[in-house]
Structure 1
Amino acid sequence: MAPARTRAARAGCWTGEVAMLEAFADLSTPLVADACLRCGVPLRSAHSGIRPVVAGQGIAGRVLPVRHYGSVDVFLEAFGRAQAGDVLVIDNGGRSDEACVGDLAVLEAEAAGVAALVVWGLHRDTPELAAIGLPVFSYGSYPAGPARLDEREPEALVTARFGPHLVSASDIVFADDDGVLFVAAQRAEQVLVTAHQIWQSERDQARRIREGQTLRQQTAFDDYLARRAADPSYTFRRHLRRIGGAIEE
């Protein structure tokens, strides 16, 4: 199901990519993930468990990377570089012993034109964030803020780590209730076009199921079982490619 609300990036010189990013409003991260697989684009997904503070929000935008060291000043500096529609991607090392963003940081992000925040870590001030309405994706809430001040790395405003992934302004971030994905900007249009094709095919399959034609019938599943019995190397994905199916790839 498509996100109820999508904020698409509108970075200054991205005339053609504005429409591309807005296309995500009709899609979802599962469709984008399937499209990455079909296009041969490396799947860079945030670890499971990340959720929007307010359910039903979907976002798509250029990554505005930042690494957190215990003080809000690095966020303020990042906001000075923000272009309208950017998504602040915060590397807080996945820490579970502190919240690195709250209502003031989110209000300032909104004032800077930032479309959303995606946090490898935790947030606080949950009721206030819900009232503000700017999409915030994190791994949960925690009442205490940082009680540390670590040494800042030179790449603090250039790249952000997110689990095993390293992201930068050359990446697009997609997020909704199912999770968060990062796609290289130069491949994003191809991925979104493919995701839309998958969406159309799956909607047609769903319609036919409701009309009485089962998925087993649509995929000629009995034929698949017979072919697999004769040739154990015959996989379901190979079968789907042969018949033009859209499930799994």
Structure 2
Amino acid sequence: MSLDPDQLPRRFAALTTTHVADACLRAGVPVRCAPAELRPVVAGGRMAGRVLPTRHVGSVDIFLEAIDRAAPGDVLVVDNAGRTDEACVGDLVVLEARAAGLAGLVVWGLHRDTVDIRAVGLPVFSLGATPTGPQRLDPRPADAVTSAQVGRWTVGPEDVALADEDGVLFLPGERVGELFDLAESIRDTERRQADRIRSGEPLRAQVGFGAYLAGRAENPALTFREHLRAVGGAIEE
């Protein structure tokens, strides 16, 4: 990882997943967003940390095994195949994760014990809640603690998970420093644009929208994104 793991939460504290997703676009890095249905259990929850992957097969021992080998600040990523017929994580797992110094949990599935999880306060993102736990015990796959699937994305310890109220985003660990630098630049540009709007200068004027329309009239293939890159706008990336 090009960024010290201890710096992750500090750098991300002044950013949003939106800024970082735009940075991925600008850097040509795949934007690996978890499906929008994955939402925070604790309002306002946000986290940043190395992915600690687990594939759930019906028993809590897989989580204890992963936590036992975790480093402080890791994010437990639970792959329960997006199932909505059972909860795979409850308050005891969340408590154990907090005691081990983890940054939070991403659950590709359901949780239970919502009131108790909120009382713990550790950030948890899941597909929702149901009262029942698993009534199965499936064979353990070979990659049970080395990779996890979240939506269409497969992630592992070489990845970083970021999460806030806009959702969950996965980054390649070796690109985190570069992407955070870009995200900070995008954030600063957007803040300046917002201040100018509040001061009475429309965004259309700031980005030369009239010039874009004139340019498009001459060259119908001209896209607004190309125009923004030329003038230094940041609203689309």
**When the two structures are superposed, what TM-score results if normalisation uses the length of structure 1?**
0.92
The percent of aligned pairs where both chains have the same amino acid is 57
The residue that corresponds to 1:117 in the other structure is 105
The residue that corresponds to 1:132 in the other structure is 120
How has the CA–CA distance of structure 1 residues 76 and 16 changed in structure 2, closer, same or farther, with 3 Å as cutoff?
A: closer
Among candidates 131, 149, 172, match of residue 161 of structure 1:
149
The residue that corresponds to 1:31 in the other structure is 19
How has the CA–CA distance of structure 1 residues 230 and 32 changed in structure 2, closer, same or farther, with 3 Å as cutoff?
A: same
How has the CA–CA distance of structure 1 residues 21 and 115 changed in structure 2, closer, same or farther, with 3 Å as cutoff?
A: closer
> In structure 2, what is the Cα distance between the partners aligned to 1:106 and 1:247?
37
Highest RCO, 1 vs 2 (Cα 8 Å, sep ≥ 6): 2
The residue that corresponds to 1:242 in the other structure is 230
> In structure 1, what is the Cα distance between the partners aligned to 2:212 and 2:40?
40
**When the two structures are superposed, what TM-score results if normalisation uses the length of structure 2?**
0.97
Unaligned runs of 5+ in 1: 1-12
**Native 8 Å contact 1:66 1:75 kept in 2:** yes
Unaligned runs of 5+ in 2: none
Among candidates 187, 197, 209, match of residue 175 of structure 2:
187
> In structure 2, what is the Cα distance between the partners aligned to 1:70 and 1:180?
24
Aligned Cα RMSD in Å? Answer: 1.4
> In structure 1, what is the Cα distance between the partners aligned to 2:106 and 2:10?
18
> In structure 2, what is the Cα distance between the partners aligned to 1:16 and 1:108?
24
CA apart distance, 1:18: 2.3
CA apart distance, 1:16: 3.3
> In structure 2, what is the Cα distance between the partners aligned to 1:17 and 1:114?
12
Where does structure 1 differ by over 4 angstroms across 4 or more consecutive aligned residues?
A: none
Among candidates 202, 219, 222, match of residue 214 of structure 1:
202
**Native 8 Å contact 1:224 1:236 kept in 2:** yes
The residue that corresponds to 2:129 in the other structure is 141
Is 2:34 aligned against 1:46? yes
Amino acid at match of 1:24: F
Number of residue equivalences: 237
**Native 8 Å contact 2:228 2:234 kept in 1:** yes
The residue that corresponds to 2:91 in the other structure is 103
